[in-house]
Structure 1
C-alpha cells in the first residue's frame, strides 16, 4: 500500500465539549474585546475610506510601480496606492498609472505644495511622465463606501442565513450565522488593536472569509444531519462530537493547505496584497475554530426537536430538509 501523509488519524475520539465553557466563553470574551477595541481605538482607514487625492499619469515609457512607490515613500506623504491602468483602447506606447494619496491631517486632500513635490519626484524618475488629471475624493464619498461595505457584509450574512435555513433547520442557520459574525468581528477587532490598514481590499477579504467559514461549517452540519438520522437515540452532544471527529481530517487538511498558500502570499506577495492576505489568513484560523467550537455549540444550546414527525409525503425520508447546493 502506498504511503500517505496523515495529519489526523482516520478515527479520532476527541471530546470537543470537554472545555466548552472555556472555548465558547473565550469566543464571547474575544467578541466583546474586539467590539470595544473597534469602538474606542477605531480602525486605521486607508485611502478608500479616509479620502484623498487621485492622480492619473501618462508616459511613453512603461510604468515602474516599484520606482514610483520608492520615490513617493521618500517624500513621506502618507498612505499611497499605485496601480497601472490597462485598456484595449490605449496606444502601444501609452502607459497609464493611477496614484492615490491619502488625505493629510487637517485637510480633505493633498495640499498644493505636496502635490507639486509629488509631480517633481515622478518626473525625476520618468522625464516623459505627465500628470493628466487630479481628482479629489472627499469625506462624503468615503463615508458612503464605509456604509456600502457594511451593507455588503450584512447582505451576505442574511443570504447565508436563508440558505442554511432552507437546507437544514433554523437552529443550524442561527448557529452558522453567529459563527460568521464571530469570525468577522474578531478579524476586524485584530485590525483595530494592531492598527493595520483597513481599506476595500480588507472588505473583500471579509467577504471571502464568510464564504470559506460557512463552507467548513456546512460540512460539519451535513455530517451532523446524517448522523442524527442514523443514531436516533444517541444524545445530541455525542452525535455532535462524532460528527466533528468524522470531519476533522478534512477540516485540518483544507485549512492547513489554505494557510500554506496564504502564508506564501503574506511573506512574498508584497505590500499590495499583504493586507488582503493577512485578513484572510486570520479569518481562516478563526473560521476553522468557529466551525468546531462555536456553530455546533449554538445549536446545542438552542436544542433540536428529534421526535418523529409525520412524513410530508412520498419521497420524504426524514424531517430534515435535503436541498442540495
Structure 2
C-alpha cells in the first residue's frame, strides 16, 4: 500500500481568494516592519557585544534575587532570564545572564566574571557557571553588516538564477516571496522577543533556500503546462500546476516539520531559536510559494508566443540544471 496524504488528482482553486491572501501577506509584511521598528530585535551577544553567562543551580531561579545581587556591581545593562526545558531534571535550574560590554573593554573581564559569580553565590550557594561567552562591540557591529550582506547577496543571486532559468516575471515573483518570508520571520522574532543571533541568520538563509526550492518545483511544472496547454488561461494553468505538485509539497513540508518539531520540543533551549525560525520558515515559505510568488506572476503575465518553431527560443537558459 502507498501512503497518500492527498488524492492523486485534486482540483483546488488556489486563486479563488487571491486578493484576500495576497492582501493578508502585504498586511503581515507591513505589520512586521512596524513591530520591528517599534519593538526592535532581541539581539544576542553576537550582535550586541558583551558577555553571556549560563548558570545552573539545584534550587529554583529567583530572578529578583539575582538582579539585586548584581545591582551593587554597577555593570550597566544586565538581563536575567530563566531557561525552561522539559528535559531538565527537577534539580536542574538554568538561568541566562547577559551583561553589556563595559566602557573601554572589548568584553567583560575575567575579574568582573569572578565578582558576578561571588555575588550570585551569596544568594544561591549551589550556583555554577556552565558557559561564559564574550563578544566585543566592534566585532558585533561587523557581524551585523556581514549578516545583512549575506542575506541580500543570497536574494540577488536567486533573482539572477531564476531570471536565467525562467523569465523575469518568475524571478520577481520568487524574490518577492523570499522578501515576504524573511520580513515576516523577523517580525515574529521581534514580536515574541526571541533571541536574534548568528544562528538566526543561518536559519534565515536556510529558509531562503527551502522556500525557493519549493517555488522552483512549481515553476518547472508551470512551464511544462504552459507548453502543453497553449490556449488555457494562465490562472487555470497555474491552478493545475499547483494541484499537480501538491502531494510533493505536502510530503516534503510534512516530513521536514516532523524533524523540526522534534528538535523544537526535545532539542533544548540552545538551538530553540534556530529551530523555531526554520519551522516558521517552512510554513510561511510553503504559503508564499503559492499565494505570493504565483500571484505576482499571474498579475505580471507570462509571454506565450507559440508561433516560434522551437518552444525554447527566447528562453535558452531554461534547461540549466537546478
Q: TM-score range by the shorter chain?
A: 0.7 to 0.9
1:102, distance to aligned residue in structure 2 (A): 3.5
Contact 2:32-2:183 within 8 A present in 1 as well: yes
Match of 1:70 in 2: 56
Match for 2:295 among 276, 281, 297? 297
1:113, distance to aligned residue in structure 2 (A): 7.0
**Within-5 A mapping of 1:216-295:** 216-295=214-293
**Within-5 A mapping of 1:1-325:** 3-53=1-51, 69-71=55-57, 78=79, 102-104=98-100, 109-110=107-108, 114-118=112-116, 137-308=135-306, 310=308, 317-320=312-315, 321-325=318-322
Three-state SS of the structure 1 residue aligned to 2:51 is strand
Count of matched residue pairs: 284
1:104, distance to aligned residue in structure 2 (A): 3.3
Contact 2:48-2:100 within 8 A present in 1 as well: no
1:166, distance to aligned residue in structure 2 (A): 0.9
Three-state SS of the structure 2 residue aligned to 1:70 is strand
The CA RMSD over aligned residues, in Å, is 3.0
Quickly say closer, same or farther: Cα 1:190–1:182, change in 2 above 3 A: same
Q: Which runs of 5+ in 1 are unaligned?
A: 56-67, 81-99
Q: 1:159-185 CA distances to partner (integer Å, 9 max, x unpaired)?
A: 111111111111111111110000000
Three-state SS of the structure 2 residue aligned to 1:103 is strand
1:261, distance to aligned residue in structure 2 (A): 0.4
TM-score normalised according to structure 2 size = 0.79
Q: 1:226-282 CA distances to partner (integer Å, 9 max, x unpaired)?
A: 000000100000000000000000001100111110000000000111110000000
Three-state SS of the structure 2 residue aligned to 1:208 is helix
Contact 2:238-2:294 within 8 A present in 1 as well: yes
1:103, distance to aligned residue in structure 2 (A): 3.1
Q: Which runs of 5+ in 2 are unaligned?
A: 68-77, 82-95
Distance 1:43 1:52 in 2: 16
Distance 1:324 1:114 in 2: 56
Three-state SS of the structure 2 residue aligned to 1:271 is coil
